[in-house]
Amino acid sequence: MALVSRITGTGSALPAQRMPNADLVAMLAQRGLDSSDDWIVDRTGIRNRYFVGPDEQTSDLALRACVAALEAASCKASDIDLIIVATSTPDMVFPSTATILQHKLTLAAQAKGEPGAAGGVAFDVQAVCSGFVYALTVADALLRTGTARRALVVGAEVFSRLLDFNDRTTCVLFGDGAGAVVLEACEHSGDGPAILATDIHADGQYTGILCVPGHVRGGQVVGDPLLRMDGQAVFKLAVGVLESTARAVLAKAALTESDVDWLVPHQANIRIMQGTARKLRLGMDKVVVTVDQHGNTSAASIPLALDCAVRDGRVRPGQVVLMEGVGGGFTWGSVLVRM
Ligand SMILES: CC(C)(COP(=O)(O)OP(=O)(O)OC[C@H]1O[C@@H](n2cnc3c(N)ncnc32)[C@H](O)[C@@H]1OP(=O)(O)O)[C@@H](O)C(=O)NCCC(=O)NCCS
């Protein structure tokens, strides 16, 4: 019998420090930069975001999201044989944040007298804001081939560390957070829960429109280590590719827009989400929106939004959920799931 993969639990985590627009606007004013709550809400839909404190790492947020997802799936750390972390803000240059997370999960399990997660597969995926969709696609493939049985697929970011707070066009857009799902291999069963189709792409000619150009060389950061973006170029590309990947993934699953119960898009900008929904003829009442509360948390935004909608009862078992991401690279893609 053919194997499929299905989501059996979701979890998420946010740092303690809330940063509403008013506080950010006040911080910008201290630097002589003019902005306003009205401008930010009108152009982006963002009202609030969260920033980590100085001692908090991507793996810390990821750990909290994973513990919640494991609990929702009624699993233990020792049940997990694959961890994929989508992030562009890893704890270290290497090893991967996934291996650091695996050890933190093991320590948390051992503190409860349970075995840990050592020995399984663990690696990071770097596809910026499309990272979670990429990671879910890779995990689905590994589970369907029997390479692993049960995965934690995580999006976790501390984008606040990459922001230039002297650039008002970018620093108002991003926040920190993490989201995770437990993905399990199971035998295919008709209309049962499963990842129905995936679709991922990249086009490297657009590297320059959204990037952190710097790198480490000989003990120094060489080049610009902060996020740079051509907002209008990103906007135009995003709306186009989000429509094409949504149509592609639906076609692969032999479904149409009318079969979608929920669109869970990357939470970059409410206007990009509205544009995508309009093109797919989906009402905004079918779109999960958290960008107002979290800002753009890059690879974390889709699993964070999914977890919110699962926990508040909007997303229910049996429903069809279309997740789609777009981001630096340029990368984009989607995953269609029956919950
Ligand atoms: C960034 C973005 C919100 C800017 O909106 P926009 O409508 O394109 O605005 P513009 O860049 O044309 O700027 C309009 C004006 O607002 C100003 N402005 C920019 N940021 C501002 C801020 N935070 N507060 C007040 N004014 C601001 C600009 O300087 C410009 O002023 P000017 O006309 O005097 O030159 C929009 O382009 C966007 O959302 N792009 C996609 C970004 C994204 O989602 N990236 C992540 C993808 S994963």
Print pLDDT tens along the chain (339 aa).
799 999 999 999 999 999 999 999 999 999 999 999 999 999 999 999 999 999 999 999 999 999 999 999 999 999 999 999 999 999 999 999 999 999 999 999 999 999 999 999 999 999 999 999 999 999 999 999 999 999 999 999 999 999 999 999 999 999 999 999 999 999 987 889 999 999 999 999 999 999 999 999 999 999 999 999 999 999 999 999 999 999 999 999 999 999 999 999 999 999 999 999 999 999 999 999 999 999 999 999 999 999 999 999 999 999 999 999 999 999 999 999 999
Report pLDDT for 203. 98
Closest CA to 138 of 70, 85, 65: 85
- The alpha carbon of 335 is separated from its chain's Cα centroid by a whole number of angstroms, namely 12
Q: How far is the CA of 56 from the centre of ligand 1 (A)?
A: 29
Report pLDDT for 223. 95
Report pLDDT for 190. 83
Q: How far is the CA of 169 from the centre of ligand 1 (A)?
A: 5
CATH topology match: 3-187 vs 194-338: yes
Report pLDDT for 291. 98
Q: Domain 3-187 belongs to what topology?
A: Peroxisomal Thiolase; Chain A, domain 1 (3.40.47)
Cβ(129) to ligand 1 under 6 A? yes
Half-sphere CA count of 21, side-chain side, radius 13 A: 19
- The alpha carbon of 223 is separated from its chain's Cα centroid by a whole number of angstroms, namely 27
- Give the H or E element holding residue 247: helix 231-252
- Peptide bond preceding 94: is omega within 30 degrees of 0, i.e. cis? no
Report pLDDT for 189. 78
Cβ(116) to ligand 1 under 6 A? no
| Atom of ligand 1 minimally distant from the CA of 328 | 48
Distances 272 to 40, 173, 177, 284, 326 between C-alpha atoms, Å? 14, 13, 21, 12, 10
Whether 129 sits among the annotated catalytic residues: the reply is: yes
Report pLDDT for 188. 82
Residue type at position 62: A
Length of the chain: 339
- The protein residue whose alpha carbon is closest to atom 38 in ligand 1 is 231
Query: Pocket of ligand 1, candidates 46, 235, 324: which has the most ligand atoms within 8 Å of its Cβ, to mutate?
Result: 235
- Beta bridge mates, 179: 12, 155
Cα–Cα distance measured from residue 200 to residue 217, given in angstroms and rounded to the nearest whole number: 31
Q: Are 273 and 301 in contact (CB under 8 A)?
A: no
Cα R_g (the chain), whole angstroms: 19
Q: Domain 194-338 belongs to what topology?
A: Peroxisomal Thiolase; Chain A, domain 1 (3.40.47)
Q: Are 190 and 2 in contact (CB under 8 A)?
A: no
287 backbone dihedrals φ, ψ, rounded to 5°: -110, 125
Please pick, among 21, 66, 171, 266, the residue that the annotation labels catalytic: 266
Whether 171 sits among the annotated catalytic residues: the reply is: no
Q: Are 266 and 327 in contact (CB under 8 A)?
A: yes
Cβ(235) to ligand 1 under 6 A? yes
Residue showing tokens 């993934």: 249
Cβ(172) to ligand 1 under 6 A? yes
Q: H helices of the chain, where?
A: 21-30, 37-44, 58-72, 97-111, 131-144, 168-171, 231-252, 270-279, 291-294, 301-311
Listed by start position, the domains of the chain span 3-187, 194-338
- The protein residue whose alpha carbon is closest to atom 40 in ligand 1 is 231
